Chain A
Amino acid sequence: MDIIEVKEIYKTYDKDSVPVHALNGISITFKEGEFAAIVGPSGSGKTTLLNIIGGLDEPTRGVVMINGVNITALSSRKKTQFRLENIGFVFQAYNLIPVMTAKENVEFIMFLQGKDKKEREKRTSELLEAVGLSERINSRPNKLSGGQQQRVAVARSLASKPKFVLADEPTANLDSKSTENLLEIMEQLNQKENTTFIFSTHDARVVNKARRVITIEDGRIISDITNR
């Protein structure tokens, strides 16, 4: 079943009154359980596409359907709630909340969802264990390495039991060992819990792990290959 349906998306930015065509008619669908990489050179439109799928940005034209809901038509308040319930985010710069510990960063998402304390704590420790950080649950982000922070971010993205996780260049700031480690964790979560991951990258090693590779250039899909 398609959980994401992107139909004829265009995005034109207005940069100092000069139009920048970031996306030029992108149509694509994603199924539950995918582990897909969006690749392409810098400036090709990866981030723009992920942001539009995630409801963080609005397309100039076109529609994004998630589980049959046209999110492009939602009010910004409803979109926020929709993201909270359905989408996990991992950012290139980790973007954890500095005043919260690893545990609190993960738990906070469920707090926003209004989940009860018992459920929150149970899932938080499960997730932090899954990303191999059981020992560091009470550390604040500044006491963690980049790789560890990104693992917390992955745990956070899964806290709400989202339909899918969007990760924009999640390994771009990591060394090769941390990159490998993070990908392993993501793969495991994908296989064990059937979590859908869509990530962008321009790192060949990361691309190799993906089961589906979508290549875009100048805001157009130039290839969409599913291996394995």
Chain B
Amino acid sequence: MVDYLKLAWRNIWRNKRRTLITIASIFFGVLLSSFMSSMQEGSYAQYITTIVNSYSGHLQIHKRGYWDDKVINNSMKFDGTLTSKIAKVKDITFYTPRLESYALASTDEFTKGVMVMGIDPETENDLTSISIKIKEGRYLEDHDGGVLLGSALAKFLKLSVNDTLVLLGQGYHGTSAAGKYTVKGIVKQPAPELDRLLVYMDIHTAQDLFSMQGMVTSVVIMVNDNDKVAPVKDKLEGLTGSEEEVMDWKEMNSLLLKQIESDRSSGNIMKGVLYMIITFGILSTIMMMMAERKKEFGVLIAVGMKKYKLIIMLVLEIVFIGMAGVITGIMGSIPLIYYYLHNPIPLTGQAGEMMLQMGFEPAMFFSMAPSIFYYQALIIFVFTILIGLYPVYNISRLKIMSAIRN
């Protein structure tokens, strides 16, 4: 016997061509929209990973107020008290202290303002992999007395490995800071800004320079999973006092996240327009189909089919068309996106140049996050429900006699 499902299924194939065209329109809509979403989400993930891994880390601890006012006096003690607290929190993979400040770099001929970053060579390298960016000389050792320069900075100052650099500046609480350092290596920083400004040195050397033994401006923390950031942050906040602030990568990169959010909304508007067009396509198919079958509906009600049952049958027909489009669309997108996931589209020319300048790899990356796919299904589902209102409206107004006479 035919139940409503079977009946609805047969009904949608009464006009094969029309149904296939409608399904194809959904198919291409889903394909296009998941491709777009995948590319967007892939790029966002790429931006975030790059930023997190090249600078901010998952979490940072500072003296309270440091993030808003990054001066050397807003620093904190980095000693057993703090490290033992960090050690208590599980899911932390590693942490690394930093001492960041500014100074004037001078050689015999030139002077330039630079960013001095005191690091723990080993753990910092675990996070930001500086050692592989060394293009001349060598990476820092523990308690190294030398410095690493960004390649553009080195070029500007006309310095090469084993040359000497003088740093002058202000130390902790108004002391004066001055030191002479041997250039141990030249680092090619992908971000041009940093390449022109950055001087790395061992954190102890930096503490000596700024006269602040045992002090750091930040402790960068990595956890083993993105989902662990929030709970670890809570734990750390509980353990540290009101003197310190714990910030996660979202707070530290709020500008980037805002940009991502606005990019995502403009993408959603585009997808929304696309889906509106598809919806009107489906709606017109359903309206035509229902107009053609008006007499049949009259007969069905005449012989005793209640209107709501007829509506259920028609909504099922719409759901079938929608589902056929979504399922084929998702089945088509998976291999397509899978391919691009493993073969990002390289960006050349201006766009590529811009990405490079911002420190990102110049390519379009893709994401295969499941949400990309079920989001499509959800949207089509919502539109299907909206289209389903048409039969509700149409059938509830239907007059048996005028339908049969049709």
Contact = CB atoms under 8 A, between A and B. Distances in A.
B303 A111 contact: no
A108 B404 CA distance: 19
Interface of B: 1-3, 7, 10-11, 14, 295-296, 299-307, 309, 400-401, 404
Contacts of B300: 97
Interface stretch (A98-106, A184-192, A218-226): A98-106
A77 B307 contact: yes
A83 B10 contact: no
Given A108-B2, A111-B1, A120-B1, A83 B302 contact: yes
B304 A56 contact: no
A181 interface: no
A112 B1 contact: no
The main secondary structure of chain A at its interface with chain B is helix
Interface string A164-182: 0000000000000000000
Contacts of B3: 111
B309 A91 contact: no
Contacts of B1: 104, 107-108, 111, 117, 120-121
A102 to B, nearest CB: 12
Interface string A52-73: 0010110000000000000000
A95 B296 contact: yes
B292 to A, nearest CB: 11
A91 B299 contact: yes
Interface in A69-83: 77, 80-81, 83
B280 to A, nearest CB: 26
A160 interface: yes
A56 B302 contact: yes
Which of A51, A83, A97, A157 neighbours the largest number of chain B CB atoms within 10 Å of its CB? A97
A62 B274 CA distance: 56
A100 B2 contact: yes
A56 B2 contact: no
A160 B304 contact: yes
A121 B7 CA distance: 18
A84 B303 CA distance: 6
A56 B400 contact: yes
Contacts of A77: 306-307
B40 to A, nearest CB: 43
A91 B309 CA distance: 22
